[in-house]
Structure 1
Amino acid sequence: MKIDNSKYDETGQLKNGWFKQYFKDGSVACEGGYSNGERTGEWKFYLVNGLVKAFGNFENGKMTGEWNWFWASGKLWQTGSFTEERKSGLWKRYYENGILWDEGECRDNNKIGIWKTYDQEGNLVKTQTFKIK
């Protein structure tokens, strides 16, 4: 299913208030608030099985603050922050078994500093250093 990102409702008015979008089977695909046609506040995106796929906040239509994504099993897959819809701060990804996969800092959508990658048992397998572009 394609998520409706339009700023206008079916009557042609700017979206305001709480909105839900649905999958063909009637289950909720996503839900969150709009203000003057822009996504605002906490939004949740769901998988067809009803589990949360991702959640986080929007400000003036842009992803901001901490966001979390989940595996189809419901376990945490990735967590990270955005500033004006650009990756910033600490980012972490996890294997479906819950073990940390990799971690490092982002700035302006780019990896910076030391990034560490682990195997599925949690052993450090790679360290990379990224310089600011």
Structure 2
Amino acid sequence: MLHSKLTRTLIVGLTLATSVAFAEGTAASNSSTPKLACPAGTMQTGNLNDGLYCRKGDAKASRGDAHGPYASYFPNGKKSAEGQYVDGFRTGLWTFYSEDGQVRGKTEFQGGNYHGKHVEYFPNGKQRLVEAFTNGKRNGLSQEFSEDGKIVRQAQYRDDQQVAEK
């Protein structure tokens, strides 16, 4: 129950972050805009509010796939998310932050899908949720923890279907 609501909330947040990443616009050229290490053949685009990313193709015309590092920022200037795109898809480890700079979650992606470990953290830095994914589906052990680190729920998943719970 609680787990489903939290998962839906995170998925909605990630979906919004992705759509924001493709908002039109070119990064401002002032010195306060961080520079990404864009791969050869790409150009940095976006802005601090919507996210900075590298784009292959015609970045000035807002065409082409995101490819390379991505970073978005809160209005206070602190980073809200960082990760990597490959050919338009989130790939590798993405990290999500709270406005005060604390890590709130880490998710591994492959081809735009959750693939690998997904971890959410309490404000005290302890793990709140740890899940395993394969091609966007929960596979393996899923654990929820209390703020003091005790396991409050544990379930086993296969192809996004719960097969056991403790």
Which TM-score band (shorter chain)?
A: 0.7 to 0.9
* Structure-to-structure mapping, 1:91-102, within 5 angstroms: 91-102=142-153
Q: Distance in 1 between matches of 2:17 and 2:151?
A: 33
- Superimposed CA distance per residue, residues 52-74 of structure 1 (whole angstroms, 9 cap, x where no aligned partner): 11112111111101111101221
Match of 2:123 among 55, 72, 75: 72
Would you tell me which structure has more helix in proportion to its own residues?
2
**TM-score w.r.t. structure 2 length?**
0.64
> Offset of 1:88 from its aligned partner?
1.0
- Superimposed CA distance per residue, residues 32-89 of structure 1 (whole angstroms, 9 cap, x where no aligned partner): 0001111111110111121111112111111101111101221110101011111110
Tell me the residue number matched to 2:155: 104
Tell me the residue number matched to 1:126: none
> Offset of 1:4 from its aligned partner?
2.7
* Structure-to-structure mapping, 1:38-49, within 5 angstroms: 38-49=89-100
Q: Distance in 2 between matches of 1:84 and 1:17?
A: 21
Letter in structure 1 aligned against 2:99: V
Would you tell me which structure has more strand in proportion to its own residues?
1
* Structure-to-structure mapping, 1:28-39, within 5 angstroms: 28-39=79-90
Q: Which runs of 5+ in 1 are unaligned?
A: 117-133
Tell me the residue number matched to 1:21: 72
Letter in structure 2 aligned against 1:5: T
**TM-score w.r.t. structure 1 length?**
0.78
Greater relative contact order (Cα < 8 A, sep 6+): 1
Q: Which runs of 5+ in 2 are unaligned?
A: 1-12, 23-44, 47-58
Supply the RMSD in Å over aligned alpha carbons. 1.6
Q: Distance in 2 between matches of 1:90 and 1:51?
A: 25
* Structure-to-structure mapping, 1:107-126, within 5 angstroms: 107-113=158-164, 115-116=165-166
SS in 1 for 2:154: strand
How much identity, in percent, do the aligned residues show?
27
SS in 2 for 1:5: helix
Q: Does 1:52 align with 2:103?
A: yes
